[in-house]
Amino acid sequence: MPAKRSYHHGELRAALIQASFDLLAESGLQRFSVAAVARRLAVSTAAPYRHFPDRAHLLGAVSTTAAHDLRAAIAEAAGAAGENPAERLAAVAGAYVRYVTRTGAGFHVIFAAELYQLHDEARREQTSALMTTLIDLATAAGRAYREAVPLVEATIAIGHGYASLYADGFFARKDATVDEIANRAVDAARTLISDWPRPGAPAGRRPA
């Protein structure tokens, strides 16, 4: 095992992806830059381009990892939620909030418009697997098969909404922890799912 002559020889690719996550978690996609990632690892701004041809490919690798890890987080949360299909789907919203808050890599990164023309088979597989997992959870919880997609959208929308507002500091009232926010997202998703696809009527359908 040769002594490391400079910092990252041989591991820089993986280190760049990890540092990208750290940067996203701290500063968001807005401030993401290849140069900032390089700085964070104390390598030159040219070094990343030995491993990724351009910014989009680095972000694409982040997207691939994020899709994989988010799917794992979702599967784990569904498993922990027990047998009830609605409860399992509701748990997705909480897992989403926790994952995005921890990593900064939500759907806005995984499916970022700037990656649209990127051809990356590994990424396609991971994003596809992520969506399949979500659709499966929704199908199990849904009232009809064709409702699975909008049900997934609704669940993710709730998670994404809470996570985004949290990241933007909207819940800055001192008390709000990530887990609290995640629980609120789960509560909202659970309520929504239980009434899907016809939400409670404006009046009369439920006891006061």
- Range 138-197, binding a second copy (CB under 8 A): 149-150, 153-154, 156-162, 164-165, 168-171, 173, 184-185, 187-188, 190-192, 194-195
User: Judged by CB under 7 A, does residue 26 bind DNA?
Assistant: no
User: Judged by CB under 7 A, does residue 14 bind DNA?
Assistant: no
Backbone angles phi, psi at 88, to 5 degrees: -65, -40
HSE value, Cβ hemisphere, 13 Å, CA-based, for 174: 0
Which of a second copy, DNA, none does 206 bind, CB closer than 5 to 8 A by kind? a second copy
HSE value, Cβ hemisphere, 13 Å, CA-based, for 184: 12
Among 25, 28, 29, 33, binds DNA (CB under 7 A): 33
Distance CA 100, CA 107 (A): 9
Which range, of 41-49, 72-80, 106-114, 133-141, touches a second copy by CB under 8 A? Answer: 106-114
From 32, 2, 5, select the one nearest 17 (Cα to Cα): 32
Contact between residue 98 and residue 182 where contact means Cβ atoms under 8 Å apart: yes
From 114, 109, 123, 119, select the one nearest 23 (Cα to Cα): 109
Query: Contact letters (x/-) for a second copy, 40-79, by CB under 8 A?
Result: ----------------------------------------
Query: Residue written as tokens 């199908």?
Result: 139
Q: Which residues bind a second copy (CB under 8 A)?
A: 29-30, 82, 84, 86-87, 107-108, 111-113, 116, 149-150, 153-154, 156-162, 164-165, 168-171, 173, 184-185, 187-188, 190-192, 194-195, 199-200, 202-203, 206
